[in-house]
Amino acid sequence: MFIRNDWYIAAWASEIGSKPGDKPLGRKILNEDVVLFRDQQGKVAALENRCAHRGVPLSCGEIVEKGIQCGYHGLIFNSTGACVEVPGQTVIPPRSTIRSYPLVEKDQFCWIWMGDPAKADPSKIIDYPYHNDSRNWPHKHDMYPIKCNYMLLIDNLMDLTHLGFVHKKTIGGNARVHVDAKMDTTRKENGLHYVRWMLDCIPPPTYSKSVKFGKERVDRWQEFELFVPGAIVQWSGATDSGTGATEGKRDGGFSLRLFHGITPETDKSCFYFWSAANGYRQDDPAATEQLFDEIAITFKEDWVILEEQQVSLDRYPDRNYVEIAADGARTHANKVIARRLAEEAAESAKKSEPAMA
Ligand code: FES
Ligand SMILES: [Fe+2]
């Protein structure tokens, strides 16, 4: 079960073809097959990935002047899903329109709405202006297709005590420091915000490789905000110990921003859209590359653990699992998602009730 009436990231804008002859992008989202392309006016569009003629996926076709052309017998559909051309005849058959989905390009993402189109309000899409600020936040991005339920990835990002174990050679460092971090959590209606402080600690390898700290020890923070169903924004860094990071003086050390976008593909797989922005040596493209490479290794460490976890959960579906103190944020996130699912279920049950005479 997935929350449907909300925005999910369908793709990076750069993944979507636009020129006649380009391949459209086929992707399964929330168990539905969609095809993504950009029309000749430059607008991105999402349609069901199934031709109205004989059902061939439109992602096997190509982008043309008038829209997207099926690769089998050449029917063309525009960005609203209307069939606009049938080779060899002038009449467009009735019922040849296919489903279209609201799709909005913003901050280098394409956000899709899989629920009731009448409810799709683009002003509800979160802002991530750092993707448009290459001077202060130069960044690189990627997408990992992970074979696990999307909730496992949200869980992973809600409990950072894993850093000292899964990522001890990269961004994590000493496990004790993570387990003992002071964590302030603010629960919100549609997610949560937390900040974790690791004061007067040795910086992890990624940090000390990237900047020269003035002291041997640093004050380190990790700030996360979750927006259900699948966006998490992160700001992390460190400055010389005792120089005021906790009071907001966070310039001059190491600082990065990560975006984590999580979109269910199926019940057992999801897409992990992420970007890493360099907030410490902005004029040095090699630093942005190095950061990206380090984060890529880090997230691949998560990828391995999450897929193993999914296999194991499938093997023992009836086991009960214990909660520990570190599960607080994860538990709240799970509750918000469960509440949203229940609200949607109640709404659709109400809609399907027979009208009173
Ligand atoms: S199946 Fe698409 S044109 Fe025939
Ligand atoms: Fe991780």
User: H or E element: which one contains 207?
Assistant: helix 205-210
Does any domain span residue 263? Answer: yes
- How many angstroms separate the most distant Cα atoms in the chain? 77
Residue 239 CA to residue 227 CA, distance in Å, equals 28
- Same structural domain for residues 34 and 109? yes
Same domain, 85 and 228: no
Q: What is the mean pLDDT of residues 251-263?
A: 95
Same domain, 203 and 309: yes
Ligand nearest to the CA of 160: 2
In this structure, are strands 269-278 and 103-106 parallel, antiparallel, or unpaired? Answer: unpaired
Same domain, 141 and 84: no
Asked if 110 and 134 sit in the same domain, the reply is no
Considering the domain architecture, whether residues 114 and 256 belong to the same structural domain is answered as no
Answer yes or no: do 112 and 260 share one domain: no
pLDDT per residue over 32-85, tens digit each?
Answer: 999 999 998 899 999 999 999 999 999 999 999 999 999 999 999 999 999 999
194: Cα separation from own chain's centroid = 18
Q: How far apart are CA 66 and CA 76, in angstroms?
A: 7
154 shares its domain with 66: no
Helix (H, G, I), strand (E, B) or coil at 272: strand
Reported confidence tier of residue 356, pLDDT bands at 50, 70, 90: low
Residues 17 and 86 in one domain: yes
Domains: count for the chain: 2
- 306 and 188 part of one domain: yes
CATH number of domain containing 277: 3.90.380.10
278 and 134 within one domain: yes
Residue 331: inside a domain? no
**Pocket-forming residues, ligand 1, beta carbon under 6 Å:** 51, 53-54, 56, 70, 72-75
* pTM, entire model: 0.94
347 lies in a domain?
no
pLDDT tens digits for 176-193? Answer: 777 778 889 999 999 999
* CATH for 86: 2.102.10.10
Domain boundaries, position 230: 129-316
Q: Are residues 220 and 113 in the same domain?
A: no
Q: Over the chain, what is the mean pLDDT?
A: 94
Asked if the peptide bond before residue 229 counts as cis, ω within 30 degrees of 0, the response is yes
**322 found inside a domain:** no
Nearest ligand atom owner, CA of 236: 2
Please identify which residue in the block is written with the tokens 């630093």.
287
CA 163 to centroid of ligand 2, rounded, Å: 6
3-state secondary structure of 216: coil
Give the other-Cβ count within 10 Å of 97's Cβ. Answer: 16
State which ligand 1 atom lies nearest to the alpha carbon of 51: 2
Q: Given this model, what pLDDT does residue 355 score?
A: 64
Residues with CB under 5 A from ligand 2 (ion): 302
